[in-house]
A and B are shown apart, each in its own frame.
Chain A
């Protein structure tokens, strides 16, 4: 099983450029998430989607937008990249957000903004 697949794995952007991180899951999960993790730090939630057709801001949404394209796909867009957005980004999914279901993570996308 592929699980959660996110692309690209590595990306270098110049300040002000835009890009979209793609994420897809094949587990028929309702909930999907985007996290960022800075070196030595915990996971911070950027946006999440509890179900298809809904998206909600997490704790660090500024500078990002998301699209829940369908049940499988949840993309994260940086409209105008800034050096402060240099981080590792993880997409994740779970069956439901509130019922103790395991969260499955993608392999991560390493983004550097110069």
Chain B
């Protein structure tokens, strides 16, 4: 079982809608999470980090962490075609017993 599981995609939303991306994780000790965005043919880049229970907002992006449920999510409001990418969820430790802890990613397509 992977340490981080992401909701299977692909996810398609119309422009202007809210896109919801989710992760569940197995390590109850995880205190923070990171969301990376990867455009097709490009490398992943960090877009959000959340270090405590609750919500963190940054522009159109809101990250939510629920430690009790071991659940983290990323909401994208007013989705734009430029948000079309694969979103990767990652816990604070990038490796665990020699394995990458990145989730496999959810591919989002925002249709004009």
Contacts and interface: CB of A to CB of B under 8 A. Distances in A.
B61 interface: no
A107 interface: yes
B43 A90 contact: yes
Given A42-B102, A42-B104, A58 B42 contact: no
Given A97-B93, A105-B45, A107-B43, A58 B99 contact: yes
A14 interface: no
Given A42-B88, A58-B95, A90-B43, 9 more contacts: A31-B94, A44-B100, A45-B100, A100-B34, A100-B93, A102-B46, A103-B44, A103-B90, A105-B45
Contacts of A98: 92-93
Nearest to A102: B46
A102 B88 CA distance: 13
Interface string B36-80: 100000111110010100000000000000000000000000000
Contacts of B100: 35, 42-45, 58-59
Contacts, number: 67
Contact of B104 (A41, A57, A108): A41
A55 B99 CA distance: 14
A97 B49 contact: no
Of A43, A106, A107, most B-chain CB atoms within 10 Å: A43
Interface in A83-114: 90, 94, 97-103, 105-108
A56 interface: yes
A62 B36 CA distance: 27
